[in-house]
Structure 1
Amino acid sequence: MIRMMLTAAGALALLGCTATGSGEGEATAASAAPAPMATNYAAILADPKRPDADRARDAARMPARLIDFAEVAPGESVGDFVMGGGYVTRILAGVVGPAGHVYAFQPQEFIAFKAQYGTDQQAVAAAYDNVDAVAGPFAAPAFPVPLDTIITVQNFHDLYLKPFPADTGAKASAALFAALKPGGTLVVVDHSAADGSGTTLSDSLHRIDKAAVVDALTKAGFVLDAENDLYANPDDPRTANVFDAAIRGKTDQFALRFKKPG
């Protein structure tokens, strides 16, 4: 998701529904299925604090369907793991409302690579009374309170970029498990890689095999609760880099919901 993050810069010498952080630069293939409207998404999406760039992504990123799939409710404490420019964070702030809270995490490695990530994080936190900025190591997000839900969009593959230690994915999966309350929910959206490819294409194509995500998170203690095809695109051969102009905005993506037992 972070475009050629650190690969182009040399190892640490380092968007629909943020590369450019939390899938934000990569739009998604639209789905025809209507979104359930238990929450007043029209009012949330009309929030004047949302930038025009966010509004332009709404049709492809289908935030109502994503948040309903995540089962986020008013009053909850929610984490946005790798918030990027804040697309998901802003919507979550409206969904959880004044009785809830959003903890927008930005990895310190991303901020060190590109200062704009830190600037965007602070700007979003300043704009919403119920949003706090959280920074820390990518493999050890230090959310300050137990969370009801964590959402991460187009970021999980980044845990397996070559510049990061080989155990980054396992450590982050364990940290996300620890950050949730018993019975809490983790939703992962990411670009599909070819079946059987594991994490081997995370760096070169910015894709990950769905089975590798399930494996990493079940090893951390999660239980796969549901899948959703809202970002599915069977026409994507899953062989191109997600930033390739021929496929950008049209990648096949999976959406998985995990539960922490208890």
Structure 2
Amino acid sequence: MKIKLAFGLSAALLFAGVAHAQQAGQDQPAGDLVPPTSASDFTAGQLDTVLAGSWRSAPNKARDVYRHPKETLQFFGLQPDKTVIEITPGGGWYSEILAPLLRDNGHYIAAVADNNAEAKQDTAALRAKFAADPAEYSKATIATFNPQAPVLGPAGSADMVLTFRNVHNWTQAGTAQAMFKAFYAVLKTGGTLGVVDHRAADGATMDLVKGSGYLPTAYVIKLATDAGFKLDGQSEINANPKDTKDYPKGVWTLPPTLTLGDQDRAKYLAIGESDRMTLRFVKNGADKKPAAMPTASGSTAK
């Protein structure tokens, strides 16, 4: 399946403009910068086509109601002719969306860690996924990095870096600061960093949430701004007010992990996936030496 990315001139421009106008009503911008409306923006129809694609697994499609991929990617300003790096894609949930979207005119790169057996297992599974469906993934690339000293590609080579539910792992491993510096290095000036992660309760400190999988929004923003980024926008797209964030096994108590198994399973399924922050940053070109950041310890799981 090839996604045709040429637009129908004025009609497509009008459609894109309406989509961005609707988005602006729900976003909470942190400045005047908003992803530009242009003929190269993805239309809602193109996103819908990919989200309905037969190559996406049924369990992954079932998560759309919690992860809102269409609205999230529109908020980040994803465009079809750009180089996009997804950091630590795990089993490839977003790979099934991003790689086909970028196949014809852009470039999708899955950046995977090479530091442990679990990471290598995920990489092998991702390679198998790509090899099994060349019609969708033949132009996708897998690149490995060392989390202790990450290099994600040539400096200034990417238009967008995206990461979904990973910052809490890096925080607990003590590598978050290095990762955000690597994001800044690989992006072009004006490039976008999109971050989604489990959001701690208002006023929660790092000590309070340690090991829970949740992070204070201010902490994640500081990681990015200390690396040189400017906060460009926040969205409630992935908010979940049912999430009370006080579970015996942290965020992993909720689906899709359901660490407690059958114990209170119906209760946690009714809550759904976690409440999440959705943050958009821009590389403004002013290199800035990052400050020292606090770390937390605990289990690391995505």
With the length of structure 2 as denominator, give the TM-score of the two structures.
0.68
Instruction: Spell out, residue by residue over 1:113-143, the C-alpha distance to the aligned partner (whole angstroms, 9 max, x if none).
Output: 3543122221234331221111121244433
Cross-structure match for 1:173: 180
Moved over 6 A (4+): none
Count of residues in Structure 1 that have an aligned counterpart in Structure 2: 223
C-alpha distance in 1 between matches for 2:164 and 2:208? 17
Matched, 1:45 2:75: no
1:147 and 2:155 equivalent?
Answer: no
TM normalised by structure 1 equals 0.77
Shifted more, 247-256 versus 206-215: the winner is: 247-256
Separation (CA, whole Å) in 2 of partners of 1:154 and 1:87: 12
CA shift digits 1:74-99 (9 cap, x unpaired): 11100111110111122111222312
- Judging changes above 3 Å, is the alpha-carbon distance between structure 1 residues 99 and 49 closer, same or farther for their aligned structure 2 residues? same
Please tell me the root mean square deviation across aligned C-alpha atoms, in Å: 2.2
After TM superposition, the structure 1 = structure 2 runs for residues 51-62 of structure 1, keeping only pairs within 5 Å, are 51-62=57-68
Percent identity of the aligned residues? Answer: 31
Q: Deviations over 1:21-60 (max 9, x none)?
A: xxxxxxxxxxxx8xx9445112212322222222222222
User: Match of 1:72?
Assistant: 78
1:1-262 to 2 correspondences below 5 Å: 37-38=43-44, 40-109=46-115, 111-113=116-118, 115-126=120-131, 127=133, 128-145=137-154, 146-161=157-172, 164=173, 166=174, 168-200=175-207, 204-240=211-247, 241-245=250-254, 246-247=267-268, 249-262=272-285
Q: Which structure 2 segments of 5+ residues have no match?
A: 1-25, 27-41, 255-266, 286-302
What runs of 5+ residues in structure 1 fail to find an aligned partner? Answer: 1-32
Partners of 2:209 and 2:130 in 1: CA distance: 30
| Higher helix residue share | 2
Alpha-carbon displacement from aligned partner over 1:136-191 (angstroms, at most 9, x marks no partner): 21244433341111111111111112xx3x3x111111011101111000111011
Name the larger-Rg structure.
2
Return the alpha-carbon distance in structure 2 between the equivalents of residues 70 and 143 of structure 1: 20
Q: How many angstroms apart in 2 are the aligned matches of 1:39 and 1:69?
A: 16
SS in 1 for 2:94: helix
Indicate if the aligned counterparts of 1:152 and 1:189 stay in contact, CA closer than 8 A: yes
The residue identity in structure 2 corresponding to 1:135 is T
Query: Shift in Å at residue 203 of structure 1?
Result: 5.1
